[in-house]
Structure 1
Amino acid sequence: MKLSVKLGIIFFLIIFGLESFMFFFLHSALVDNRVEEELNGLLARGNSHRSVLEMNFDKTTISHITLMESEADTDVVITDSDLNFIGSSNQSIHFSKYIQSKTHDIPRHGKVIENNWRKTPFIATVSPIEIDKQVVGYVYMFQDTASVQSLIKHLNEHFLLAGFISIALTFFIIIVLSKALTKPLLEMKEATSQISNGNYTVSLPKVANDELGDLANSIQLLAQKLNYLTKERNDFLASISHELRTPLTYIKGYTDIVHKRNLPREEQEKYLEIIIEETTRLSVLIKELFVLAKFDQNTFVIQKQQIDLHEFLNNIEQKLSPAFKEKDRVLDVFCPENLFLMADPARLEQIFLNLLDNAMKYSSSGDKTVLRVIRKGTNCHISISDTGKGIPEKDIPHIFDRFYRVDKSRTRTLGGSGLGLAIVRELIHAHGGTIEVKSKENIGTQFELIFKGAIG
């Protein structure tokens, strides 16, 4: 069964139940109120006759009252204090049983002696006639219940008509509402079906700012993320295929040359060095891929400990200074003493070595690289700036993407897998820090790292 039909049935049953209850309650209240009005009107008429008779309790007045009631829809019976008939507008035998009832408890303002309009032929009231504080007679008023039943019948007909109209309108409104509610759900269902089939370019119309709107936005966002992840996966597979194929091609090609050809010792060593270099490159690539895989699976563990940054960075400077001097570059490190940071020393060293190695690779003879540490409150700001070739503005948003290279033409010359900066960003995030980059072509690049929890 479709959702719209289910919603329609549920809404209809709920609204129909509420309407039925309200109609029943309103009908009962109106009927009781209408019967009450008839009884009060009958009692008031009897009291009016009683008042006239108390002023003139004679045959002429009695005859006048009975004659007047004979032309009305009601009937009157006037008795003496012993309940003997002394006047009546209708000689009905049905009046006798009401006249024979006890009258000692009738109040001055009268009393309803019959109100069962459904089962008896009359509703009736009685009013005592008092002269000089003595009861001298009674005025009995009767009204045929057929007139009351006719009135209730007309009321029922109006209620039935109103009920049918209400049900029809309710049914129509429920159809419209159920379709209005289920239309966006059906569109979302179609969108999710397309997403499951690999079509991530679905577009959902904007709906109201409610739960359905939030759901539509979530599905749209999911489709965009899946589209992005699919593109990233395809690019990643293409990149890793290229990165693996290149060193493997070198290794296989030069191995075949060494194996099949009778080469001089010097030339063999040359080819073997290339094979070793490519094997090392392949090993590093696989190692970096394993590191990224751990990040993706949230299984990478950071083991923090308190590090003396001044001593830590001095060791890195001593380790890299020979390489910088060999390539005629300058490396300066500035870090205040007694500054400590909670971090994983091995991973922190990996971050600095990667960034400083890139600064050295992408700079020219005489260029300078400066590593500077500044404490701001409980945060530690570390900047690594160089005067190298810089990064084109269009490439800056992508430098942390996996396998992304700014200078693709120098891939083999500069080495690297295109994963270094991606790993750096993941390592910094794993420490709870952030990294930002600013760069201008032919001016230089600056990376700023911010770590929390500086001590000193």
Structure 2
Amino acid sequence: MRKISLKLGLLFFVFVFAIEMSLFTALYVTLVDAKIHEEFEHLLARGNNHRAVLESHYDEITLQHVVMMESEAETDVAITNEKGDILYFSDHIFPIAKRWIDQTKLNDIPYDGKVIQDNWKNERYIATASPIRINGKITGYVYMFQKTSSIQRMINQLKHHFIIAGMLSVGLTIITIFFLSRAITIPLIRMKRATEKLSKGDFSVRLQVKGKDELAQLGKAIQTLAKDLEYLKKERNEFLASISHELRTPLTYVKGYADIARRPTLEEEERAKYLSIIYEEAEHMQKLVKDLFELAKMDQHSFQIEKEPTPLCLFFKKIYEKMYPAFQTKNMSLVYRCDEDITVHIDQQRFEQVMMNLLDNALKYSHQGSTVFIDVRMEKKNVMIMISDEGIGIPEADLPHIFERFYRVDKSRSRTGGGTGLGLAIVKEIVEAHGGSIYATSQCRKGTTMIITLPKGDEHVHDITS
């Protein structure tokens, strides 16, 4: 992760550095141009001020006074007549002044003055010219000169300040990028370590995720994945343990009674008894394998549901007729009530499997002489199917778990409890595959009601009792 931190840091630095250098360069050029323009304007304004004084008092004393003023300043002055002949000038400026004055076209100088030398990079002086007009007639010119060394010094100072500011800016940028790249990569490092643990089968991953950005969402997704994998691992272990237990018991019976049945001294009557037990255990294993196969297909999404329009009342009448003899054998009553003209789209074979399982449970856990009710009715836009019995009921603590695989209310898993512990799990999967839902309500020693909700329906009542 140090590599990605370094890459991110370098990438950020290159972009930020490029932006900073562009901004610094633009700012530097703008400031230099502004400062140089300011120097030219200042020099021209100084010349225009002298021109104004001379236009009011054009005499020898005033001319000498102007020259004397400039001798105390950083600028120099030269005053000419209307033809460009130099009359008065500052010390040491005469050769420079004469060269530039001779090159100047006097007719091109406006009354507001003009910069006649602006090459501050290569020349020793910059210069301006301002015409002296008395009574509407040009009587001379005021030439102002300033050494370019002062401008160079000013620009060098400005450059020095910019270099210091740039170095500080780059340093602060590096520090800021260092902490920002660490702030970004530290969560990524934690996520990498978490995924490494997950890949090794350690699902006890806990990520402290804060915020709502993409990194936080990724962290939450990894945390959720870890919890889901941990849950699946636990479920798988429990599932395998349950299968092992469910298969071990009948296999123990089969092996034990087979050993006994093989004894040559065993009487035929006892041999038949033991062979009968072996057959029952083999049937139990066959049912268990069948249920496991059904659940495996559901988990792999290869479980096919082929829906077709089905009149529910006719469907339940067939279920009633099929189950009625079993209830009669146990001296129990089966009652169903169905609203007429209710048609739903279901897989009849699969849904018959649901009803047979639920009715078989009601028959198994109810007392002789009790009644099991099937009630089919419309509730708004849904069809409600309720299977109610008057049996032993389900404890409140067990009720939320009865649709889990291999869960049994009978914790001893006694053989008399019957079933594989997979029936209700299969029922739930089939009902949900139809777009419906199933839940249970129960009271101990008073009975249990299984409630299935499916889309669609109509009304009217039809009763058959036994």
TM-score by length of 1: 0.96
Tell me the secondary structure at the aligned position of residue 387 of structure 1. Answer: coil
Report what 2:69 is aligned to: 68
What pairs with 1:112-123 in structure 2 (closer than 5 Å)?
112-123=115-126
Q: Are residue 426 (structure 1) and residue 446 (structure 2) matched?
A: no
1:414 CA displacement: 3.2
Which of 196, 200, 225 is the aligned partner of 1:197? Answer: 200
| Structure 1: distance between partners of 2:372 and 2:100 | 120
Give the fraction of aligned pairs with identical amino acids, expressed as a percent: 48
Contact 2:78 2:89 in 1 (8 A): yes
What pairs with 1:308-323 in structure 2 (closer than 5 Å)?
308-323=311-326
Report what 2:3 is aligned to: 2
Report what 1:131 is aligned to: 134
Tell me the secondary structure at the aligned position of residue 75 of structure 1. Answer: strand
| Structure 2: distance between partners of 1:116 and 1:421 | 97
Contact 1:128 1:138 in 2 (8 A): yes
Report what 1:362 is aligned to: 365
| Structure 2: distance between partners of 1:254 and 1:324 | 32
Q: Are residue 402 (structure 1) and residue 402 (structure 2) matched?
A: no
Report what 1:83 is aligned to: 84
Contact 1:118 1:145 in 2 (8 A): yes
Report what 1:292 is aligned to: 295
Report what 1:53 is aligned to: 54
Report what 1:39 is aligned to: 40
1:288 CA displacement: 1.1
**Residue segments in structure 1 that go unaligned for 5+ positions in a row:** none
**What amino acid is aligned across from residue 350 of structure 2 in structure 1?**
R
What pairs with 1:33-432 in structure 2 (closer than 5 Å)?
33-92=34-93, 93-100=95-102, 101-409=104-412, 411-432=414-435
Deviation track 1:54-87 (CA, whole Å, cap 9, x = no partner) reads 1222322211111111111111111112111011
**Residue segments in structure 2 that go unaligned for 5+ positions in a row:** 460-466
1:228 CA displacement: 0.7
Tell me the secondary structure at the aligned position of residue 408 of structure 1. Answer: coil
**What amino acid is aligned across from residue 299 of structure 1 in structure 2?**
S
Alignment: residue pair count: 456
| Structure 1: distance between partners of 2:141 and 2:181 | 65
Please identify, of 265-274 and 281-290, the stretch whose mean Cα deviation from structure 2 is larger: 265-274
| Structure 2: distance between partners of 1:292 and 1:125 | 99
| Structure 2: distance between partners of 1:294 and 1:4 | 46
Tell me the secondary structure at the aligned position of residue 190 of structure 2. Answer: helix
| Structure 1: distance between partners of 2:324 and 2:382 | 27
| Structure 1: distance between partners of 2:50 and 2:411 | 117
Contact 2:339 2:458 in 1 (8 A): no
Report what 2:15 is aligned to: 14
Deviation track 1:171-219 (CA, whole Å, cap 9, x = no partner) reads 1122222222222221222222222222211221232232222122111
> Compared with structure 1, are the counterparts of its residues 415 and 57 closer, same or farther at alpha carbon in structure 2 (3 Å cutoff)?
same
| Structure 1: distance between partners of 2:391 and 2:115 | 111
1:304 CA displacement: 0.3
**What amino acid is aligned across from residue 192 of structure 1 in structure 2?**
T
1:425 CA displacement: 0.6
| Structure 1: distance between partners of 2:366 and 2:117 | 114
For the aligned residues, what is the CA RMSD?
A: 1.6
Please identify, of 103-112 and 285-294, the stretch whose mean Cα deviation from structure 2 is larger: 103-112
Contact 1:341 1:455 in 2 (8 A): no
Tell me the secondary structure at the aligned position of residue 397 of structure 2. Answer: helix
1:261 CA displacement: 2.9
Please identify, of 266-275 and 40-49, the stretch whose mean Cα deviation from structure 2 is larger: 266-275
| Structure 1: distance between partners of 2:291 and 2:325 | 25
Q: Are residue 30 (structure 1) and residue 31 (structure 2) matched?
A: yes
Tell me the secondary structure at the aligned position of residue 333 of structure 1. Answer: strand
Contact 2:359 2:387 in 1 (8 A): yes
1:404 CA displacement: 1.0
Tell me the secondary structure at the aligned position of residue 108 of structure 2. Answer: coil
| Structure 1: distance between partners of 2:205 and 2:307 | 45
**What amino acid is aligned across from residue 86 of structure 2 in structure 1?**
F
**What amino acid is aligned across from residue 37 of structure 2 in structure 1?**
E
Contact 1:116 1:123 in 2 (8 A): yes
| Structure 2: distance between partners of 1:157 and 1:396 | 81
Contact 1:76 1:90 in 2 (8 A): no
Tell me the secondary structure at the aligned position of residue 391 of structure 2. Answer: coil
Please identify, of 172-181 and 304-313, the stretch whose mean Cα deviation from structure 2 is larger: 172-181
| Structure 2: distance between partners of 1:255 and 1:54 | 139
Contact 2:341 2:457 in 1 (8 A): no
Contact 1:342 1:454 in 2 (8 A): no
**What amino acid is aligned across from residue 203 of structure 2 in structure 1?**
Y
1:455 CA displacement: 5.9
| Structure 2: distance between partners of 1:8 and 1:455 | 68
| Structure 2: distance between partners of 1:98 and 1:410 | 117
| Structure 1: distance between partners of 2:186 and 2:412 | 53
Tell me the secondary structure at the aligned position of residue 393 of structure 1. Answer: coil
**What amino acid is aligned across from residue 40 of structure 1 in structure 2?**
E
**What amino acid is aligned across from residue 185 of structure 1 in structure 2?**
L
